[in-house]
Structure 1
Amino acid sequence: MDLQLTGKVAVITGGSAGIGLAIAHGLAAEGVDLALCGRDEDRLRSAAAELPGVRVLTVAADLAVPGEAERLAETVTAEFGGADILVNNAGTGSEETILTAPDERWQHYWELHVMAAVRLARTIAPGMKSRGGGVILHNASICATQPLGYEPVYNVTKAALVMFSKCLANELIGDNIRVNAVNPGLVMTGDWVKTAKQLTEGTDQTWEQYLQEIADDNAPIGRFATPEEVADFFVFLCSPRASYSVGSSYYVDGGWLNVTT
């Protein structure tokens, strides 16, 4: 299937690893030029080196800091003249309780998961409009609907991101800009592996066994997704082939979602 993406320009935040890098590979295979944003410049350069055949711009920025989204947008405009696709993927899990998490922790995740998306919409969407339209995708989480008990801050901010995505979709569809959210379930990223290794160190359980237990307990499919499996869905949503997909939240979760939730 021709996804009709050749020659487009995509901005991917959190683009140096995990799902973001997998999306970059998927879009590059379709002939999309890329602007990758992340906090670690060395990791961005390594990621860019994996993506031959398309133009790749790297921008080291912490999008939880006001002003960085604007700098990213300005850099993309200077290099590419604007963008046709924006994938808001930057984010990370949390671990706390509501009664002990200070205001600063809530504010940090609000800035990273919600305000970064708000600021990038304000700065990149006008250019999309002038280019005739575009696509904005938000990488949220199944936790936006079905929360995990150990990360209430993550759950709340991802839920807010999903609502922002819906509101933005309603506001921009008249400009031919399609906005959607994706709610992944268990995805085998470096963060999961790192956590599993830490929790099983010095025990009789391997980190692989630990993660398999999580998959068995939560995902009817019985395993974690690869980043590429999730990325393929993102790439399709970027395409005109998904032209009737507007303002929705899609679960890519191996059956984890409880329909009674």
Structure 2
Amino acid sequence: MDLNLRGKVAVLTGASVGIGLAVAEGFAAEGVNLVLAARQQDRLDAAVAQITASHGVEAIGVACDVATAEGVTRLVDAAVETFGGADILFNNAGTGSNETIMNAPDDKWQSYWDLHVMAAVRLARGLVPSMKARGGGAILHNASICAVQPLGYEPIYNVTKAALMMFSKNLANELVKDNIRVNTINPGLVLTPDWIKTAKALTQPSGEDWQAHLQQVADEHAPIGRFATPAELADFIVFLCSERASYSVGATYFVDGGMLKTV
């Protein structure tokens, strides 16, 4: 299926590893030029070198912290200066949490709010003008199944991802008249380096097999009985940002191997 994406420009946050890197690869395979954002320049440089060599697209890496207004400004300016703006925005930067509501300080709540919500708000304000000038575009927010089916150990993550999902719906209603489609994706278990790192840390004291631990997690939560690969999620994301999904507006899509327990 030709997704008609060749020559488009996509801005991706959290793009140097895991889901973000897989989505960057997916876009590049369709001929999309890329603006990749993450905090570590060395990882970005490696990602840009790999992608440009493999796919022949143009790509730049912008080291910035999108949880700050200054970081967002740096990213937007780089996209405008290099490509004249963007056609696609994939808001992916984020991280899990671990706390109780009773013991989490205000600054922890604020830091996750800035990363999961305000980054999306600021990037929309920064990039939508160029999308309008280019005739429209697509914005996709990576929230989580935890936005509607919370895990007990990470209330801050659950709450801020739920807020991101609601922001996405409101933004979709505001921008649809400008031919800019906004949607949300709520993944379930995706085998990212963070999951592997956590599994190894949890099993190291006991000598348990970390892969067996991850299989137990999958068996407990996902009827499909396994984690998704980042590439599996990326395929769906690239499709949603293409003209082939032109009637998808303001929706939330669960890609979770059956993990969601409601309809």
Aligned partner of 2:248 in structure 1 is 245
How far off is 1:75 after superposition? 1.0
Helix, strand or coil at the partner of 1:43: helix
Note if 1:16 corresponds to 2:16. yes
In the alignment, structure 1 segments of 5+ residues that lack a partner are none
Aligned partner of 1:124 in structure 2 is 127
Distance 2:101 2:208 in 1: 30
Distance 1:75 1:47 in 2: 17
Note if 1:136 corresponds to 2:139. yes
Note if 1:34 corresponds to 2:34. yes
Note if 1:81 corresponds to 2:81. no
In the alignment, structure 2 segments of 5+ residues that lack a partner are none
Helix, strand or coil at the partner of 2:169: helix
Which of 193, 197, 211 does residue 196 from structure 2 map onto? Answer: 193
Give identity over the alignment, percent.
Answer: 66
One-letter amino acid of the structure 1 residue matched with residue 38 of structure 2: G
Distance 1:60 1:71 in 2: 9
Equivalence map 1:143-162=2 (5 Å): 143-162=146-165
Tell me the TM-score normalized by structure 1.
0.99
Distance 2:131 2:235 in 1: 23
Which of 235, 239, 245 does residue 236 from structure 1 map onto? Answer: 239
Helix, strand or coil at the partner of 1:50: helix
- RMSD, aligned CA: 0.7
How far off is 1:50 after superposition? 1.4
How far off is 1:202 after superposition? 2.3
Distance 1:169 1:70 in 2: 22
Distance 1:222 1:204 in 2: 23
Helix, strand or coil at the partner of 1:127: helix
One-letter amino acid of the structure 2 residue matched with residue 35 of structure 1: V
Helix, strand or coil at the partner of 2:190: coil
Distance 2:205 2:115 in 1: 34
User: After the TM superposition, which segments of 4 or more aligned residues of structure 1 sit over 2 Å from their partners?
Assistant: none
One-letter amino acid of the structure 1 residue matched with residue 61 of structure 2: T
Note if 1:50 corresponds to 2:33. no
Distance 2:197 2:98 in 1: 14
Residues 158-183 of structure 1: CA deviation (Å, up to 9, x unaligned): 00000000000000000000000000
Distance 2:186 2:30 in 1: 23
One-letter amino acid of the structure 2 residue matched with residue 104 of structure 1: D
Aligned partner of 1:93 in structure 2 is 96
Aligned partner of 1:5 in structure 2 is 5
Tell me the TM-score normalized by structure 2.
0.98
Note if 1:212 corresponds to 2:240. no
How far off is 1:184 after superposition? 0.2
Distance 2:205 2:162 in 1: 36
